Amino acid sequence: MNEQNSLTLITRDPARFDPLALDQLEATSRLEGMDRVVGLPDLHAGNGIAVGAAFWSQKRIWPHLVGSDIGCGMALWETSLAVRKFRVGKVDRKLQGLDEPWDGPVEHALAEAGLPPELASPALGTIGGGNHFVEFQRIEEVVASDRIAELGLKDDRVLMMVHSGSRGLGQAILQEQMASHGTEGLHDGTPDADVYLKRHNQAVRWAVVSRKVIANRFLDALGMSGNCLLDIVHNSVTRHRRGWLHRKGAAPADCGLVVIPGSRGDFSYLVEPLHDRAEDALCSLAHGAGRKWSRKDAHARLSRRFRVTDLQRTKLSSHVICEDRRLIFEEAPEAYKDIAGVIADLEAAGLVRVIARLRPMLSYKTRAS
């Protein structure tokens, strides 16, 4: 862990961070009213704001630090399917039509979450683009058998991870805020802050509902059932120690177990947050491996070295469904950092205990439009 004034880096080696990401993080730490900033091991440069970071202010809220994908997060489900019965080819053939709008009762699903019908959208229950995905996994290694037993997890069942957010809803909320207030932020307790927080909280609940719908659509397509083990939001602003904690690509360490995905060709980790030193990192954890290259750089580098078919199989022999010829290069495993190093940084900082390591079997991003 490295500290400088109000800025803390959770890493064994700060030299591994992209200088642009560090510049973005330092610029944010200088915002008037900013009290603490933490860069997590998956820190990487974003669109003006570093991703893989947490920001705390006692009296101010900055919507642009949360970003446009309010409520984006990871859900992990245990399915009824035994690993030995998982056949990639069969699953691939059955996963059809899942990029199309959900034809289920959208308004009813929203009402169950206390959301108004005007938030109904054809995007609900769809994955979206960018780095969002659904991935089928199996437990590769049980590290903490006591916790696995307590959770009632069966190590012979297929797991399913869903990564998605609030789609266009969060984008619309951010655009309104930027048009009205830019990057100045909102003062705690003002009417403008209250309006933003209400809409933010709705977007978070919308994203949770959407991940549940996505999961059930995939389960239904495969004739399986399942139960949700966790749903963790990594883009949000919440109350914390009489102030406001903004997380931009940062998983919460105060909401139970967390799943931290690698790239689509690497392991993911089920971890238990440790509380003794949690405040060192503003009760936040890495939300993934973090990008090593921008999407533009990844496409430029990898499209010269690989064919699309090369990227449909990974080094772990998992299968990738991504029929967007540009996206498959932008989101290739090579564009991401080593997830084992990210986890090691979190362990070295005393922030997590690894419960299990998860192996990808099939990653779904998109079919051809």
Where are the domains positioned within the chain? Answer: 2-366
Token pair 């037993």: residue: 149
109 by Cβ neighbours in 10 Å (0-12 / 13-18 / 19+) ranks as buried
Q: What percent of the chain has pLDDT over 70?
A: 98
At 339-364, the pLDDT tens digits run 999 999 999 999 999 999 999 999 99
Over residues 302-320, the mean pLDDT reads: 96
Which of 44, 163, 246, 287 is the catalytic position? 287
H helix or E strand, kind and range, residue 345:
helix 339-348
Compute the half-sphere exposure of residue 89: CA atoms within 13 Å on the CB side of its CA: 0
Of 25, 50, 48, 49, residue with least CA distance to 37: 25
CA distances 126 to 99, 210, 349, Å, are 6, 7, 36
At 165-216, the pLDDT tens digits run 999 999 999 999 999 999 999 999 999 999 999 999 999 999 999 999 999 9
Over residues 211-226, the mean pLDDT reads: 98
CA distances 136 to 88, 133, 160, 272, Å, are 10, 10, 5, 21
Q: Is 213 helix (H, G, I), strand (E, B) or coil?
A: helix
At 71-125, the pLDDT tens digits run 999 999 999 999 999 999 999 999 999 999 999 999 999 999 999 999 999 999 9
* CATH class of domain segment(s) 2-366: alpha beta
- In angstroms, how far is the first alpha carbon of the chain from the final one? 45
304 by Cβ neighbours in 10 Å (0-12 / 13-18 / 19+) ranks as exposed
CA distances 130 to 26, 127, 341, Å, are 26, 9, 23
The pLDDT value recorded for residue 2 is 61
- pLDDT > 80? residue 5: no
Of 46, 32, 60, residue with least CA distance to 242: 60
Q: Which two tokens stand for residue 137?
A: 């996994």
Q: Is 163 a catalytic residue?
A: no
- Please tell me the pTM assigned to this model: 0.96
